[in-house]
């Protein structure tokens, strides 16, 4: 092998119903990538344990997230859809990466800092090591491309740092085992085992914000349901939430400069643009100085049009847990084959005896 096989990997935490940010920031892109790459899409249930979910809720949300993948158009036969905990090699590689990643690197993770606030001493070790498990998710398959929203960028940079340090720490061993690929590392060429995975972050939809506060990320854990569009919202829910979405009084902004200074309007224009596969400039050109209520009506129409197939299929799949479970079982079996093949090499590289 002279270069890494292109392979897409991405994941979602089963911490609640999927919302529009997950859809536009990640899953819509996942669907498109299926045409040009082999893809592995994962429900990261072990990551969700860092939020201390009730066991019944974790099971329910795992199934719901898979239902949302399928309803959005992910094909579990051509590609792989599975839940992380079933492929134990993720946890095994995460331990090896815990011994590669430096505490200083982990201390810089802004998501950890935001989540724990001042209560750092009471945070779980799992939450601190979260990005190391994320690196293992990606690298246990030697994935080369990772489609995510902007909030995951720093975690992917850490993944790249871990891959680079592993490759350079073990490059002689990798070379002598004859299982590596020549990679550029600064001015040097070294023999590496892991690819330096590329984040795929879309410009228009990288950060979808709350409908109630344009400076806060739209999130499935926000206590206010009015702050987000859920993938299974009915057309009435969507219309109510968009009508109530915070905006300034006055007409739609006139220039990009003015739009940028109005976070709520900017966010709604971004959502419109992402749904209609165009840029914000063209949305501005269409709605500039029109009444905001007219823009909101057009936004409701496009949301209902684009999401109604997804939400009706999602409601249907939620009533068929046996089918969802069969998809996960099959996907986990196929993912395990790839993960174990790579793990065998990784154990050899680091010096863990095996059969």
Catalytic residues: 115, 217, 220
- Give whichever of 81 and 148 is closer to ligand TYM, judged by the CB atom: 148
DSSP 132-148: HHHHHHHHTTT--EEE-
The end-to-end CA distance of the chain, in Å, is 25
Within positions 35 to 94, which residues make up the interface with ligand TYM, using CB under 6 A? Answer: 44, 47
Within positions 5 to 34, which residues make up the interface with ligand TYM, using CB under 6 A? Answer: 9-13, 21-22, 25-26
Of these, 138, 162, 163, 191, which contacts ligand TYM (CB under 6 A)?
138
Which string of x and - marks every residue 183-212 that binds ligand TYM (by CB under 6 A)?
----------------------xxxx----
Cβ contact 20:208 at 8 Å: yes
> Which residues fall within 8 angstroms of residue 68, CB to CB, at 6 or more apart?
17, 18, 22, 23, 27, 231, 310, 314
Q: Of the ranges 96-104, 119-127, 130-138, 256-264, which one interacts with ligand TYM (CB under 6 A)?
A: 130-138
Query: Helix (H, G, I), strand (E, B), or coil: what is residue 185?
Result: strand
Count of CA atoms in the C-beta half-sphere (13 A) of 59: 6
Strands 188-192 vs 181-185: parallel, antiparallel or unpaired: antiparallel
Within positions 210 to 269, which residues make up the interface with ligand TYM, using CB under 6 A? Answer: 217-218
Within positions 99 to 118, which residues make up the interface with ligand TYM, using CB under 6 A? Answer: none
Quick count: other Cβ atoms within 10 Å of Cβ 98? 17
- Give whichever of 207 and 288 is closer to ligand TYM, judged by the CB atom: 207
Least distance from ligand TYM to the Cβ atom of residue 155, Å: 6
Count of CA atoms in the C-beta half-sphere (13 A) of 146: 30
Least distance from ligand TYM to the Cβ atom of residue 128, Å: 14
Least distance from ligand TYM to the Cβ atom of residue 188, Å: 28
**Radius of gyration over alpha carbons of the chain, in Å?**
22
> Which residues fall within 8 angstroms of residue 268, CB to CB, at 6 or more apart?
242, 245, 247, 295, 296, 299
- Give whichever of 137 and 266 is closer to ligand TYM, judged by the CB atom: 137
- Give whichever of 129 and 174 is closer to ligand TYM, judged by the CB atom: 129
Nearest-angstrom CA–CA distance, 274 and 100: 38
Least distance from ligand TYM to the Cβ atom of residue 204, Å: 10
Q: What angle do CA 269, 273, 275 make, to 5 degrees?
A: 120
- Give whichever of 50 and 171 is closer to ligand TYM, judged by the CB atom: 50
148 is a contact residue toward ligand TYM (CB under 6 A): yes
**Closest alpha carbon to 247 in 220, 282, 280, 209:** 209
Least distance from ligand TYM to the Cβ atom of residue 217, Å: 4
Total site size for ligand TYM, rule CB under 6 A: 26
Nearest-angstrom CA–CA distance, 242 and 336: 43
Q: What angle do CA 165, 168, 173 make, to 5 degrees?
A: 125
Which string of x and - marks every residue 317-346 that binds ligand TYM (by CB under 6 A)?
------------------------------
DSSP class of residue 159 equals H
- Give whichever of 22 and 311 is closer to ligand TYM, judged by the CB atom: 22
- Give whichever of 94 and 174 is closer to ligand TYM, judged by the CB atom: 94
Least distance from ligand TYM to the Cβ atom of residue 149, Å: 2
Phi, psi (deg, nearest 5) at residue 82: -155, 170
Least distance from ligand TYM to the Cβ atom of residue 92, Å: 15
Cβ contact 191:173 at 8 Å: no
Q: Of the ranges 144-152, 162-170, 188-196, 329-337, which one interacts with ligand TYM (CB under 6 A)?
A: 144-152
Q: Which residues bind ligand TYM (CB under 6 A)?
A: 9-13, 21-22, 25-26, 44, 47, 134, 137-138, 146, 148-149, 151-152, 155, 205-208, 217-218
């Amino acid at each position: 092998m002279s270069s890494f096989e292109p392979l897409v990997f991405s994941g979602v935490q089963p911490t609640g119903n999927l919302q529009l940010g997950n859809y536009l920031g990640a899953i819509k892109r996942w669907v498109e990538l299926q045409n040009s790459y082999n893809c592995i899409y994962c429900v990261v249930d072990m990551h969700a344990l860092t939020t201390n979910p009730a066991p019944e809720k974790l099971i329910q949300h795992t199934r719901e997230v898979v239902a949302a993948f399928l309803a959005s158009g992910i094909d579990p036969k051509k590609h792989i859809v599975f839940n992380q905990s079933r492929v134990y090699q993720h946890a095994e590689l995460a331990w090896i990466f815990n011994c590669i990643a430096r505490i200083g690197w982990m201390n810089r993770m802004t998501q950890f800092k935001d989540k724990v606030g001042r209560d750092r001493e009471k945070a779980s070790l799992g939450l601190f090591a979260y990005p190391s498990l994320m690196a293992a998710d990606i690298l246990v398959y030697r994935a080369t491309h990772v489609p995510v929203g902007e909030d995951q960028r720093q975690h992917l940079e850490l993944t790249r740092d871990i891959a680079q340090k592993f490759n350079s720490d073990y490059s002689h061993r990798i070379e002598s085992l004859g299982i590596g690929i020549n990679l550029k590392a600064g001015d040097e060429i070294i023999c590496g085992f892991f690819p330096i995975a590329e984040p795929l972050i879309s410009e228009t939809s990288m950060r979808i914000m709350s409908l109630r506060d344009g400076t806060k990320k739209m999130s499935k854990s926000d206590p206010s349901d009015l702050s987000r569009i859920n993938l299974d919202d009915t057309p009435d829910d969507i219309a109510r939430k968009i009508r109530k979405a915070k905006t300034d009084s006055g007409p739609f902004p006139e220039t990009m400069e003015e739009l940028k200074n109005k976070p709520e309007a900017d966010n709604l224009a971004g959502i419109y643009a992402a749904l209609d596969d165009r840029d914000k400039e063209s949305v501005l050109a269409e709605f500039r100085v029109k009444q905001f209520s007219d823009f909101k009506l057009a936004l409701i129409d496009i949301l209902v049009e684009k999401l109604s197939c997804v939400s009706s299929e999602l409601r249907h799949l939620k009533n068929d847990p046996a089918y969802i479970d069969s998809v996960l079982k099959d996907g986990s079996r196929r993912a395990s084959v790839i993960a174990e093949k790579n793990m065998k090499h990784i154990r050899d590289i680091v010096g863990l005896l095996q059969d």
